[in-house]
Structure 1
Amino acid sequence: MKTLELPNTDLTAPNVILGLMRIPDMDDEQIRTLVRTAIDEGVTMFDHADVYGGDHLCERRFGEAMRFSPEEREQVILQSKVGIRDGYFDFSREHILESVDVSLAALRTDHLDVLLLHRPDALVEPEEVAAAFDELETSGKVRSFGLSNHTPYQTELLQRTVRQPLAVNQVQLSITHANLIAFGVANNMAGLDQSIDRDRGILDHSRLNRITLQAWSPFQGGFFTGTFIGDRERYADLNDVLDELAAKYDVTPTGIATAWITRHPAHMQVVLGTTKPERVREAAAGSDLPLTREEWYRLFTAAGHTVP
C-alpha cells in the first residue's frame, strides 16, 4: 500500500481510504471483517460523516463493532464530516461543536484525526467556523481539518479566517466523472463541452496550495448512476481497456480504476464506498500500480474524454 504525507498535518496516510456510509444494515461481525480486511491490506484510514445512515448511525455502528483498544486506535486514522442537516447546511459554531461531540461518542474515541466541512453552506460565517476549529483543536478533539466538495474560492474565503490549514478537499472523481481533470486537457477548445470549467480549477488550486484531494465514488459512471466497471452497454471501450490492463498487471479492473486516480501526480486518495472485503482487496492492489503515461491516457480517452 502506497502512503503519503498529508501536507500541513502530521499524518502519514494510505492513498486508499475506506468509506463507511453503507454499513447500517451490517452486523458487528460483518463490519469487523470489512474493517480488518482493509487494515490487513494497509487501508488504515476510515471515512465517516454525521449524516451517514442518519443521525450518526454509521459512526455508532462502526464504534460498536470495532471497540478499538487505545493501541489499536493509534494505528488508524478516523475522519468524519459535519454540516449536512435535514434539508439544509449548517456551519455554525454551535452545530459543528455539538456534532463533533456526538461523533466522538458514537465512534468511541476521544479525537478525530481529520474533520471535514461536508458541503458548502451558503450562509457560512467564516468567523464561526474559525471559532469552532480553534475550540476543537485546543481541546484535542480534532487534530486536522479540511473540506468536502468546496470550490477554490470557497476554500480561500474560509482559509482567510480559519487559522488551521485546510489540508483536504474530498470531491467526486472517477475515470468517467473527471471534469476537474478533463477540462484542463481541452482548455481553450471553443465549442467542446469538455473545455468548460465546472469546478473552478479545483485540481490546480489544490496542487498549488498543497491540499490533498480525496476522490469519492471512484467507480461511479456519473452522479450515482451506477458503476462503469463491467457496464458494457454504456462503457464498452473503457471496459475493453480495463480488462486488457488488468490482465497485464494481474489485478482486477477495480485495481486499474483505482490506479488511474493514484497515478496522478497530485497524490490523491481514493475513497472506497464498498461493503465487500474482496472489493477492498481489489482496490488496494491498484494503490501503487505503475501505469504508464500512455496507459493512463488510453483509459482517459476510452472513457469518452477528448485529447485534442
Structure 2
Amino acid sequence: MLKALPLHDHGLKASNLILGCMGFGGGWNRNPIGIEHIKQAHEAVEAALESGINMFDHADIYAFGKAETVFGQVLKEKPALRENIIIQSKLGIRFADEEIGVPTRYDFSKSYMLESVDGILSRLGIDYLDTLLLHRPDALMNAREVGEVFHQLKESGKVRYFGVSNMSAGQIRLLQRYCDEKLVVNQLEISLKKIGWLETGVHVNQLAARDNVFPEGTLEYCQLENIQLQAWGSLAQGLYSGRNLENESDAVKKTASLVHQLAEEKQTSKEAIVLAWLMRHPAAIQPIIGTIDPSRIQACAEAEQVKLSRDEWYTLYVSSRGVSLP
C-alpha cells in the first residue's frame, strides 16, 4: 500500500521503497559482465516488483558503468517493463585519472553533464530518465549553467524530473533560483545509525550542536518545499540486521538487540524494523535498499506492514544515540 510521498504530488507514483542498483554488474572492478550477472539482475528486479517496488536508483559510476549496462540488458529482454517502473540515475562524480595526475573530482559543467546523460541512457538502453540527480556538490558549480542544462534535458525529452543528492537547503535554494524545473528529490545518508538529521533538531540551543555536521534546516526545507527525501545507506550496512558486531560499541549492540526483539514481537524481519523506523518519520522518507539478494529484498518490503508506536520509535532512537536525550 502506497503512503503519501512528495513524489506523488509531482506526478511520479513511486513505491515507498527504492531498489538501489549499485550492486548490479559484478562489483567495483573492470571484469567483463557475465551471464551470471544478468541472471542476478533479473532475479533482483523480479523480487523488487513482486514486493511492490517500482523505483530503481542508479548512478553513472556504479560498478564503473556496469550496473546500468546490466540493468539495460534486463530491460532489453523485458521491454514491456520500462513503462511500469521509475528509473533514477545520478551524475557528477569523476574518478581519478592517474595518467594525467588528476584526482577524483566533481563536475557539473554543461558539456560533462550532457555527455553523462547520453552515456546513462545508452547503457540503460532507454530514451529518457524519470529522475536525474546531481550526485555530490561540485565546488565549482555554476547554478545558472546547471539550470540551462536541466532546461535543455527537459526540452529534449531525455529527463522528466530533477533533483540532488547530498545537498544542504542553501545549495538547493541556490540551484532552484536558476532552474525552471522544480527540484523534487534530495538523497541523503540517513539511517538508524546515521542520525545527524535528527540530532540537528534535538540539539537546538545545545552545546552538542557544534559536533553535528548535518546541515541545519535541510530536513525542514525539504518538507516545506515538498522535496522527496530519499535515504541512502538506510539499512546502515546491515549493522542491526545480522552483521558481526564483535568490535562495535555497546550502543550498536543494544540497538541491534532491540531491533531483534521488535522483529520477533511483530513477526517480521529485522530489516523491516530498521526501515519502518525511518518511514515512521513525518518527512515521508523513501529508503533506498542496496541489496541484490531476493530474500533480503522481500524482507525489506515487510517494512510497509510494520507499525511502530511513538514509544518504540523513541526507544530505538535513544538507544542508537547511546545517551539520553537532553
Could you state the TM-score of these two structures normalised by the residue count of structure 2? 0.88
Inter-CA distance 68–142: structure 2 relative to 1 (3 Å threshold): farther
What is the aligned residue count?
Answer: 302
CA distance in 2, matches of 1:17, 1:261: 13
CA distance in 2, matches of 1:135, 1:8: 23
Identify the range of structure 1 (163-172 vs 193-202) with the bigger mean alpha-carbon deviation.
193-202
> What is the match of residue 254 of structure 2?
237
> What is the match of residue 192 of structure 2?
175
> What is the match of residue 107 of structure 1?
124
* Corresponding residue to 1:126 among 140, 143, 155: 143
* Corresponding residue to 1:50 among 60, 64, 72: 60
- Cα-to-partner distance string for 1:79-122 (whole Å, 9 max, x where unaligned): 00010012111111111111111111111111100000000000
Query: What letter is aligned with 1:126?
Result: A
CA contact (8 A) 1:31 1:62 kept: yes
CA distance in 1, matches of 2:179, 2:298: 38
CA contact (8 A) 1:149 1:171 kept: yes
> Pairwise mapping of residues 132-151 of structure 1 onto structure 2 (< 5 A)?
132-151=149-168
> What is the match of residue 310 of structure 2?
293
CA contact (8 A) 1:217 1:272 kept: yes
Query: What letter is aligned with 1:137?
Result: K
> Pairwise mapping of residues 1-308 of structure 1 onto structure 2 (< 5 A)?
1-5=1-5, 6=7, 9-25=10-26, 27-54=37-64, 56-67=65-76, 69-86=78-95, 87-190=104-207, 192=208, 196=212, 198-220=214-236, 227-230=239-242, 231-233=244-246, 234=248, 235-304=252-321, 306-308=324-326
CA distance in 1, matches of 2:280, 2:313: 8
CA contact (8 A) 2:199 2:212 kept: no
CA contact (8 A) 2:200 2:216 kept: no
The alpha carbon displacement at 1:243 in A equals 1.1
2:148 match: secondary structure: helix
Identify the range of structure 1 (76-85 vs 18-27) with the bigger mean alpha-carbon deviation.
18-27
Query: What letter is aligned with 2:233?
Result: S
- Cα-to-partner distance string for 1:144-171 (whole Å, 9 max, x where unaligned): 0000000111111100001111100000
The alpha carbon displacement at 1:228 in A equals 3.7
CA distance in 1, matches of 2:3, 2:297: 16
Where has structure 1 moved over 6 Å in runs of 4 or more? none
CA distance in 1, matches of 2:54, 2:47: 10
The alpha carbon displacement at 1:70 in A equals 5.0
The alpha carbon displacement at 1:196 in A equals 3.7
Could you state the TM-score of these two structures normalised by the residue count of structure 1? 0.93
The alpha carbon displacement at 1:37 in A equals 0.4
> What is the match of residue 29 of structure 2?
none
CA distance in 2, matches of 1:35, 1:194: 43
CA contact (8 A) 1:47 1:80 kept: yes
- Cα-to-partner distance string for 1:208-247 (whole Å, 9 max, x where unaligned): 11111100011226xxxx7343344422210121011101
2:62 match: secondary structure: coil
Query: What letter is aligned with 1:200?
Result: E
- Cα-to-partner distance string for 1:47-85 (whole Å, 9 max, x where unaligned): 00011111x221011111332655321110000001001
Query: What letter is aligned with 1:84?
Result: I
The alpha carbon displacement at 1:287 in A equals 2.3
Identify the range of structure 1 (158-167 vs 296-305) with the bigger mean alpha-carbon deviation.
296-305
The alpha carbon displacement at 1:288 in A equals 4.2
